Structure 1
Amino acid sequence: MTVAITEDDVDKTVVDAEGQKVGTVTEIHHGAARVSADEETVEEMQTRLPQGGIDERTYAVHDESVADITEDRLVLDVEA
């Protein structure tokens, strides 16, 4: 089942499959969440996600990389 990212997900915490925080959704752009994180985390997530990165502080997350969306976080379908 695919989870749909929406504007309601802005400001949510993003965690990996193990529950480790890997950023915060800063905006939704063309159906993808833009996630801001520290430089080291961004570099790591850019290699683990098929969408890659946007810049040195932001990476993209599309629906197919999200395992679950709760009231306060996006859970990625990847391990850190």
Structure 2
Amino acid sequence: MAITLTEADEGKRVIDADGDEIGIISTVEGETALVDPDPSLTDDVKAALGFGDTDEDQFPLDPSDVGEVTDDEVRLETTY
């Protein structure tokens, strides 16, 4: 069963199965979370405040890859 991410998850770090940080969730649009792989401090703050915007460097996160969501991280079951 896939975990559904929401706007409340914007700004959370995304950690892969090896424990490596791969970016932050910048925006959640419907059931699609977009990950910014190289966020700046400004991007972090904008995402945390719900002002994320889409750019071409972001990639969609497949909900089936999400294993756990904590207060400040989204942990994946896969490695990117």
Mark yes or no: TM-score above 0.5: yes
Q: How many aligned positions are there?
A: 65
Residue by residue, what CA displacement relative to the aligned partner does 1:36-74 show, whole Å, maximum 9, x if unpaired? 013xxxxxxxxxxxxxxx864101013211111111011
More strand by share: 1
Consecutive unaligned residues of structure 1, counting only runs of 5 or more, are: 39-53
C-alpha displacement at 1:79, in angstroms? 1.4
Q: Which runs of 4+ in 1 moved over 3 A?
A: none
TM norm structure 1:
0.71
Identity %: 29
**RMSD of Structure 2 on Structure 1 (CA):** 1.7
Name stretches of at least 5 consecutive residues in structure 2 with no aligned partner.
Answer: 39-53
TM-score normalised per structure 2: 0.71
CA contact (8 A) 1:5 1:62 kept: no
Mean CA deviation greater in 55-64 or 21-30: 55-64
